[in-house]
Structure 1
Amino acid sequence: MPRQIFQLKVSLADVVPPVWRRVLVPGGYTLDRLHRVVQLAMGWQDCHLHSFDIDGVQYGEPDPDGELALRDELEVRLDAVSAKGGRFLYTYDFGDWWEHELTVEDAFGAEPDERYPACVDGERACPPEDVGGAFGYARFLSAISDPGHPEHEAMMAWVGRPFDPTAFDMDRATTLLRRLA
Structure 2
Amino acid sequence: MTEKIARLRFELLHIEPCIWRSVEVSLKTNLRSLHELIQAVMPWEGYHLYEFTIGERAYGEPDPEDAAWGRKTYQAKGMQLGKLIERSIIELLYTYDFGDNWQHRIVVEHVEDADPATDYPRFVAGERTAPPEDVGGPSGFMEFTKAIANRRHPQHKEMVRWYGGPFHPTDFGKAEVAARVRVIAARRKIALEAFARSQQLRQP
- Alignment of 1:123 with 2:92, yes or no, is no
- Alignment of 1:4 with 2:4, yes or no, is yes
CA distance in 2 between counterparts of 1:171 and 1:114 reads: 17
Q: Report if the CA contact (8 A) 1:119-1:170 is conserved.
A: no
Q: Per-residue CA shift, 1:101-129, capped at 9, x if unaligned?
A: 00000111100111111111000111100
Counterpart for residue 138 of structure 1: 142
Q: Report if the CA contact (8 A) 1:6-1:105 is conserved.
A: yes
Instruction: Name the CA shift for 1:49/1:85 in 2 (closer, same or farther; >3 Å).
Output: closer
| Alignment: residue pair count | 181
CA distance in 2 between counterparts of 1:2 and 1:138 reads: 45
Q: Per-residue CA shift, 1:39-90, capped at 9, x if unaligned?
A: 0011100010000011221100111322552100111101112367711100
Counterpart for residue 51 of structure 1: 51
- SS of match in other structure, 1:101: strand
The Cα RMSD (Å) is: 1.5
- Quick one: which amino acid aligns to residue 136 of structure 1? G
Question: Greater shift after overlay, 98-107 or 163-172?
Answer: 163-172
- Alignment of 1:77 with 2:80, yes or no, is yes
- Quick one: which amino acid aligns to residue 87 of structure 1? E
Q: Matches of residues 1-181 of structure 1 in structure 2 within 5 Å?
A: 1-66=1-66, 67=69, 69-82=72-85, 86-180=90-184, 181=188
CA distance in 2 between counterparts of 1:74 and 1:80 reads: 12
- SS of match in other structure, 1:158: helix
What is the TM-score with the length of structure 1 in the denominator?
0.94
Q: Per-residue CA shift, 1:1-52, capped at 9, x if unaligned?
A: 2111110000000111111000111110110000001000111000100000
Instruction: Name the CA shift for 1:74/1:176 in 2 (closer, same or farther; >3 Å).
Output: same
Q: Report if the CA contact (8 A) 2:39-2:46 is conserved.
A: yes
CA distance in 1 between counterparts of 2:110 and 2:157 reads: 44
- SS of match in other structure, 2:11: strand
CA distance in 2 between counterparts of 1:85 and 1:34 reads: 15
- SS of match in other structure, 1:179: helix
Identity %: 38
Shift of 1:168: 2.1
Question: Greater shift after overlay, 91-100 or 52-61?
Answer: 52-61
Rg (Cα) greater in structure? 2
